[in-house]
Each structure stands twice: as structure tokens, then as C-alpha cells.
């Protein structure tokens, strides 16, 4: 029976801010970690500043030592929206892998950031998610998700050359330069953008789509669908069934950001959605949906349709990502300016971690230290660990974030439901700029959370001779649209003209009109 989980009072789990990294110059869209020597986990970050950055702690200092940016990876002229890390092995050097808005996947040797050793160009639109899976005795797998409505699976290997003997092939296999990511499976059938993909095991994959469905694939065949979300499904996380740190007697595999026991493969996963909820699912069980109930005659050729076993409620806006903190806890991040820690077994909200930013786009958990890392719209990477607040920065950050979130309310961001032609979540973000000849200030959607300026305009300032410029952000792949309006303009006519000029959905008109009217009244 499905249960609905609501927030409870703050529990004993207390994460505090330990470090803020400011090496990016625009939104941090993806963060991932990887185990390294001495417990000093690597940190990979991807940003709209068109770069990926690898950071690490000093080798001689574990635990609470500060991360330092070590290498920047360049090559794409568009936003970098995803990243992944492949650990070194006898067959391959360590690799940093980036997914770009230009539809390509860039593969770098960890030690060289100025030139990709491979560019994968199988996708036709924004690559928004990556997942690396390294089983103990098999080829590494790379999964990518795209707005082209597909996910793709690649393996690291090489093809047999014409006339090549087994001995020649084995000899060539010792040359790591011969190994490249090669196509294995194409996962299709989605009706809109694919926002997330996870490798469950070598031939099983999960996808999350803007069509509100989660799908389970066996090789290239969809064998199950998971229904229940009422908006875009943004993220997936597979829960470990045992503690994520393996002992010396267990075989190990590297799965995304976590080093786990090979026998600890879990059949439980979580999802995050624009509908503001997290949901828990069972790959092998859970309630059947619709015609696929136990009393109905089911066409065995159709995918099984299942419902969530649990729903987590508490976020006040879109939930962008969820990941497993351990086998008992989840952590999520949202458009509401927070990340939240959840107890899976008890169904309680353990902690709300407020940020001094609006959009908390991404998060991950460091495998050894179990610290939480987030990336946000203010271009910052934040690292949180369990313990007492160590600096005034923590208290100041929380106080400012709570104040700004309360002041901002629903006026700062206007949401329009539906999907655009490119399969995004159809969000419309509006912020205010008052233009003057002497000193034109610039209050963007990301900076407005720190200096709220979204009350109706002061008529003494915004008279008929001083136009207002509204920045309207309609998609990840486009610059915000500037809408200049005067106090005497007809809001309806202005909204219709903007929609027509830029080919936006007609459903945007009313929301834009209402906001324009509120700003110039």
C-alpha cells in the first residue's frame, strides 16, 4: 500500500556548510564525485560557463580539508549540463566525461583538460545526464540521456579488425589508446525529453522523461513503466541495499558516485519530479496500475505498469535531483532554494538545508566522507558535512536564504505548465530590471534572491519615460528574452507580441500579461 510522507520536526541529522567553491562563473548544473586514494574523494562539476572542473583535497589531508580546483576541461562553446568520472584500470586511464547542450559527449583524460580524446556525437539535442557503471569483471558502461527523446548506452572497448586472430586481438588489447566508447544500446520510445538515465545492471537501465514516465529497459526493450508523477520526471537514484563502503572480502564495482559491494545491487530506486515530490519504487514489485492489476488479463507483450510504494512531500517547488545518502536516507534539491534529507524507513524529513540561491540544480554525496555537495544558480558549489557549524558563514547563509525565500514568494518566478517544442519543462522565469540613463542596475533571476526587487514598481521611478525591462527565461538552451514595457503599455498586447515574435506557446500569454500588469500597475 502506498504511503504519503510529510515533513516532521527537525531530527538529529544536522548537515552544516563546510566550504563554498566559486570557481565557476555561471549556474552549476551537475556535480559528481568519485573515490580516490586516502579517502580524498574527487569532485567533478559542470557549468553553464561551458566548462567542467575537477577539484580534490590535498593528498596529505583527509576529512575536513578544503577542496581546491585542480583542472578545467574546455572544448564546448555551449552549456555543460552533465558530467561523469571513469576510474583508472589496467585497460584505461581515468577519464572525465562531459555532456553538452551542443548534443555531444566530450571524453577527456583526467590529466589533460584542453583537448578531448573522444567526442561522441550520437545524440541530436542537449545531453543532460550521464551515468558510469564499472562492474568488477566486465567492460565499463556509459549511459547518456538527451532532449532528443532517447538514452544511449556505450561500452569501453574496441572492435575486431578484419582478419585479426585472437592472439593479435589480445596483444592489441594491452594498448589503452585502442579503447574507445562504442555504441551498445539505443533506448527509445519516450514521448519527450529524457532527463535521467541509470544503469541498474549490465543489461538493465532506467530512464526518466518529461512525458512523466519512468521506464525499465532490458537491453533495448522496455519491460516496465512506472506511473504516478504528474509532471516532468527529472532524476533517478538507485538505493544501495548494503552500506556503500565495501569490506576487504567483497568484490567492488563503481556505480556513478558510489563504490559499492557487487552483491549489494538494490532493486529499490527513488525519483524526483517537477511535481514537487520524491517517490520510492520497487523494480520487482509495488502496486500494479490500471489494466495491469492482478485480476486483469494482461497482454504479456506490453510493459508492466507499476505505481510508487511511497511518496515524499515537502518541497515547495520543482525537485531537480535526488540521490541516496546511504541505504536508509535520501537527499534532494529543489527550485525552492533548499536541499532536504529524508529517512526512507521512518518516512520523515530529517533536515532542510537552506541555500542563499534560488535554483539548487544538482547534488551528490562524497563516497567516503558522506558529505553532501550541491550546485546552484549563483554559480557556487557548496559542501555540507555533519557537525557543529564551524563558521559565521553558515548562520549568515541560512538567515539570508530564509529571508530571501520568504520575500520572494511566487512573484519572482512564474511557472507555466506544459512542455515546449524542444521537450523542456516549460518553465518561465521573470525578473525585474529598472533602466535609467545614469546607472542601469541589473537584477537577474539568480541575484534577486539575495537582493529582492520584485515588488510593483515605484511610480516615481517607473514613469512613462523610464521603461522596464523584464528578463524572461524560457529554456535552458536560450538566453533570457528581454521585454521592454512602459507604464502606459497594454499588458495583454505586450504579452501577445512577445509570444508571437519568439514562437512561444499561446498558454504563456496570460501568465506574462498578469506579471507585466503587476509590475507596471
pLDDT of residue 12: 53
352-372 pLDDT, tens per residue?
A: 999 999 899 999 999 888 999
Please state, as a whole number, how many other Cβ atoms lie within 10 Å of the Cβ of residue 499: 17
Q: Is the predicted pLDDT of residue 224 greater than 50, yes or no?
A: yes
pLDDT of residue 91: 77
139-179 pLDDT, tens per residue?
A: 899 999 999 999 999 999 876 555 666 666 666 555 556 68
* Parent domain of 427: 413-520
Task: List the CATH number of the domain containing 499.
Answer: 3.10.20.870
pLDDT of residue 354: 95
Q: Is the predicted pLDDT of residue 231 greater than 70, yes or no?
A: yes
pLDDT of residue 276: 94
pLDDT of residue 322: 98
173 assigned to some structural domain: no
Residues 6+ apart with CB under 8 A from 223: 216, 217, 303, 304
Q: Is the predicted pLDDT of residue 441 greater than 70, yes or no?
A: no
170 touches 178 (CB < 8 A): no
Distances, alpha carbon 102 to alpha carbons 78, 128, 295, 345, in Å: 6, 11, 48, 41
Spell out a b/e string for 279-290, using b for 16 or more CB atoms within 10 Å of the CB, else e. bbbbbeebbbbe
Instruction: Please tell me the distance from the alpha carbon of residue 401 to that of residue 358, in angstroms, as a whole number.
Output: 9
26 assigned to some structural domain: no
383 touches 373 (CB < 8 A): yes
pLDDT of residue 252: 54
Q: 439, 438, 470, 440: which is closest to 454 by C-alpha?
A: 470
Residues 6+ apart with CB under 8 A from 347: 3, 5, 310, 312
Q: 301, 351, 307, 335: which is closest to 449 by C-alpha?
A: 335
Instruction: Please tell me the distance from the alpha carbon of residue 321 to that of residue 236, in angstroms, as a whole number.
Output: 7
Q: Which residue has the higher pLDDT, 199 or 520?
A: 199
> Where is mean pLDDT largest: 181-185, 283-287, 429-433?
181-185
35 assigned to some structural domain: no
pLDDT of residue 434: 31
Q: 1-10, 312-321, 419-428, 506-515: which has the minimum mean pLDDT?
A: 419-428
Instruction: Please tell me the distance from the alpha carbon of residue 293 to that of residue 291, in angstroms, as a whole number.
Output: 6
493 assigned to some structural domain: yes
491 assigned to some structural domain: yes
Residues 6+ apart with CB under 8 A from 116: 73, 75, 106, 107, 108
105-119 pLDDT, tens per residue?
A: 999 999 999 999 999
- When pLDDT is cut at 50, 70 and 90, the band that residue 40 belongs to is confident
Instruction: Please tell me the distance from the alpha carbon of residue 5 to that of residue 270, in angstroms, as a whole number.
Output: 14
512 assigned to some structural domain: yes
283-329 pLDDT, tens per residue?
A: 987 666 554 444 444 445 678 899 999 999 999 999 999 999 988 99
Q: Which residue has the higher pLDDT, 406 or 492?
A: 492
Q: Is the predicted pLDDT of residue 519 greater than 90, yes or no?
A: no
496-514 pLDDT, tens per residue?
A: 888 888 777 777 787 788 7
pLDDT of residue 503: 76
Q: 164-168, 388-392, 414-418: which has the minimum mean pLDDT?
A: 414-418
331-348 pLDDT, tens per residue?
A: 999 999 999 999 998 778
| Residue whose cell numbers read 532517447 | 150
Provide the number of structural domains found in the chain. 1
454-500 pLDDT, tens per residue?
A: 334 444 444 445 677 777 766 665 667 788 888 888 888 888 888 88
pLDDT of residue 73: 97
46-96 pLDDT, tens per residue?
A: 999 999 999 998 776 555 678 999 999 999 999 999 999 999 888 788 999
pLDDT of residue 334: 95
503 assigned to some structural domain: yes
Rounded mean pLDDT of the chain?
A: 77
244-255 pLDDT, tens per residue?
A: 444 434 445 556
454 assigned to some structural domain: yes
Is the CA virtual torsion 182, 187, 188, 190 positive or negative?
negative
Amino acid at each position: 500500500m502506498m504511503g504519503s510522507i510529510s515533513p516532521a520536526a527537525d531530527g538529529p541529522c544536522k548537515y552544516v556548510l563546510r566550504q563554498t567553491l566559486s570557481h565557476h562563473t555561471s549556474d552549476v548544473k551537475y556535480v559528481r564525485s568519485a573515490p580516490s586514494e586516502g579517502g580524498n574523494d574527487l569532485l567533478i562539476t559542470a557549468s553553464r560557463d561551458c566548462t567542467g572542473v575537477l577539484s580534490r583535497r590535498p593528498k596529505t589531508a583527509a576529512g575536513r580539508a578544503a577542496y581546491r580546483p585542480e583542472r578545467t576541461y574546455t572544448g564546448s562553446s555551449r552549456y555543460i549540463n552533465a558530467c561523469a568520472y571513469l576510474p583508472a584500470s589496467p585497460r584505461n586511464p581515468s577519464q572525465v566525461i562531459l555532456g553538452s547542450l551542443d548534443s555531444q559527449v566530450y571524453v577527456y583524460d583526467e590529466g589533460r583538460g584542453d583537448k578531448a580524446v573522444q567526442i561522441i556525437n550520437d545524440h541530436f539535442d542537449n545531453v543532460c545526464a550521464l551515468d558510469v557503471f564499472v562492474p568488477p569483471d566486465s567492460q565499463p558502461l556509459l549511459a547518456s540521456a538527451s532532449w532528443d527523446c532517447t538514452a544511449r548506452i556505450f561500452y569501453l572497448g574496441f572492435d575486431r579488425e578484419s582478419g585479426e586472430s585472437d592472439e593479435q586481438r589480445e596483444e592489441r588489447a594491452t594498448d589503452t589508446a585502442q579503447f574507445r566508447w562504442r555504441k551498445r544500446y539505443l533506448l527509445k520510445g519516450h514521448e519527450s525529453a529524457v532527463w535521467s538515465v541509470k544503469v541498474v545492471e549490465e543489461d538493465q537501465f532506467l530512464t526518466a522523461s518529461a512525458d512523466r514516465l519512468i521506464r525499465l529497459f532490458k537491453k533495448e526493450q522496455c519491460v516496465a513503466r512506472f506511473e504516478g508523477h504528474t509532471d516532468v520526471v527529472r532524476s533517478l537514484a538507485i538505493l544501495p541495499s548494503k552500506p556503500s563502503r565495501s569490506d576487504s572480502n567483497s568484490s567492488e564495482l563503481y556505480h556513478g558516485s558510489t563504490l559499492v559491494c557487487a552483491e549489494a545491487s538494490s532493486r529499490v530506486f527513488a525519483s524526483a519530479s517537477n511535481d514537487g515530490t520524491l517517490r520510492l519504487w520497487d523494480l520487482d514489485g509495488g502496486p500494479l496500475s490500471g489494466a495491469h492489476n492482478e485480476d486483469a488479463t494482461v497482454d504479456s507483450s506490453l510493459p508492466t505498469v507499476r505505481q510508487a510504494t511511497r511518496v515524499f512531500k515537502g518541497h515547495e517547488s520543482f525537485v531537480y535531483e535526488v540521490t541516496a545518502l546511504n541505504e536508509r536516507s535520501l537527499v534532494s534539491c529543489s527550485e525552492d532554494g533548499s536541499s532536504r534529507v529524508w529517512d526512507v524507513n521512518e518516512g520523515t524529513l530529517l533536515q532542510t538545508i537552506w541555500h542563499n540561491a534560488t535554483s539548487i540544480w544538482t547534488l551528490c554525496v562524497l563516497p567516503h566522507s558522506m558529505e553532501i555537495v550541491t550546485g546552484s544558480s549563483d554559480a557556487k558549489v557548496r559542501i555540507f558535512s555533519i557537525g557543529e557549524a564551524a563558521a559565521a558563514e553558515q548562520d549568515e547563509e541560512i538567515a539570508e536564504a530564509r529571508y530571501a525565500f520568504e520575500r520572494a514568494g511566487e512573484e519572482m518566478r512564474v511557472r507555466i505548465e506544459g512542455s515546449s517544442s524542444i521537450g523542456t519543462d516549460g518553465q518561465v522565469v521573470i525578473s525585474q530590471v529598472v533602466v535609467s540613463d545614469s546607472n542601469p542596475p541589473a537584477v537577474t533571476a539568480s541575484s534577486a534572491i539575495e537582493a529582492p526587487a520584485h515588488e510593483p514598481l515605484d511610480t516615481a521611478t517607473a514613469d512613462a519615460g523610464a521603461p522596464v525591462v523584464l528578463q524572461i527565461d524560457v529554456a535552458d538552451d536560450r538566453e533570457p528574452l528581454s521585454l521592454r514595457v512602459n507604464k502606459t503599455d497594454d499588458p495583454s498586447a505586450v504579452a501577445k507580441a512577445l509570444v508571437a515574435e519568439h514562437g512561444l506557446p499561446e498558454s504563456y500569454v496570460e501568465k506574462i500579461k498578469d506579471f507585466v500588469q503587476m509590475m507596471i500597475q
